[in-house]
């Protein structure tokens, strides 16, 4: 990633490039219009949670940004559920399985929810970890209703 120079006066980040046109940089990123500016990291959401949240990738295939996204989905959904049911901990564990003969990659996931007094274990599989997680959250929502 290129290093940028931040301009406080214009609230932009300028990425210098070796090829300049009329001594002006080619790339500039406006912080006011940047949609990623408002993203909240899962670690910021975890500070005041009434329950523990873990996302585990057994094969270590998925990157840190994707793991953070999965953790954010878990936190947001289970904060809503915690208003209805008391939750002690939530754990999403997934594996990546490569299928032979160009069939692609499958993800199997399990959701372990520790409720006050009982545990819920749900399993699903799909092509994307986020799709597997959403399917498991729907299954959990159907079991508590």
Q: Residue 125 belongs to a domain with what CATH number?
A: 3.30.160.100
pLDDT at 39: 53
Task: Give me the domain span that covers residue 13.
Answer: 5-37
Residues 58 and 11 both lie in one domain: no
As a whole number of angstroms, the distance between CA 96 and CA 57 comes to 8
Report the C-alpha gap between 121 and 111 in whole angstroms. 6
User: How far from chain centre, in Å, is Cα 119?
Assistant: 24
Residue numbers of the chain with a pLDDT score lower than 70: 1-45, 102
Q: Is 115 found in the same domain as 71?
A: yes
Q: Do 42 and 68 touch, CB atoms closer than 8 A?
A: yes
Q: How many domains does the chain have?
A: 2
User: Residue 40: what pLDDT?
Assistant: 58
DSSP assigned state of 99? P
CB neighbour class for 83 (10 Å; exposed up to 12, middle 13-18, buried from 19): exposed
Q: What is the pLDDT of residues 68-104, one digit of tens each?
A: 899 989 999 999 999 999 999 999 999 988 877 767 7
Same domain, 52 and 103: yes
- Are residue 111 and residue 59 in the same domain, yes or no? yes
Q: Does residue 122 share a domain with residue 77?
A: yes
H or E element, residue 3: none
> Which pLDDT value is given to residue 92?
96
CA 145 from chain centre, in angstroms, equals 26
Q: Quote the pLDDT of residue 43.
A: 64
- Whether residue 14 sits in one domain with residue 82: no
| Structure-block tokens of residue 109 | 């996931």
Considering the domain architecture, whether residues 27 and 52 belong to the same structural domain is answered as no
pLDDT at 104: 76
C-alpha distances in angstroms, 71 versus 50, 54, 78, 92, 127? 15, 7, 11, 9, 18
Q: Do 59 and 88 fall within a single domain?
A: yes
Structure tokens that stand for 137 in this block: 């959250």
Q: How are strands ordered across the β-sheet holding 52-57?
A: 52-57, 87-98, 105-115, 119-126
Same domain assignment for residues 61 and 130 = yes
| Residue indicated by tokens 């932009």 | 12
Quick one: 139 and 97 in the same domain?
Answer: yes
Do both 28 and 61 map to the same domain?
no
pLDDT > 70: what percent of the chain? 68
pLDDT at 65: 86
Whether the Cβ atoms of residue 114 and residue 82 lie closer than 8 Å to each other: no
């Amino acid at each position: 990633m290129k290093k940028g120079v931040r301009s406080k006066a214009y609230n932009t980040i300028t990425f210098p490039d070796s090829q300049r046109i009329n001594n002006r940089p080619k790339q500039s990123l406006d912080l006011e219009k940047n949609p990623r500016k408002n993203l909240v990291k899962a670690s910021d959401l975890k500070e005041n949670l009434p329950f523990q949240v873990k996302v585990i990738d057994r094969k270590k295939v998925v990157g840190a940004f994707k793991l953070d996204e999965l953790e954010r989905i878990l936190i947001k959904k289970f904060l809503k559920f915690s208003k209805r049911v008391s939750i002690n901990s939530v754990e999403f564990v997934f594996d990546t399985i490569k299928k032979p003969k160009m069939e692609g990659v499958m993800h199997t996931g399990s959701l372990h929810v520790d409720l006050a007094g009982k545990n819920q274990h749900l399993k699903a599989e799909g092509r994307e970890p986020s799709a597997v997680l959403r399917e498991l959250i729907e299954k959990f929502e159907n079991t508590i209703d």
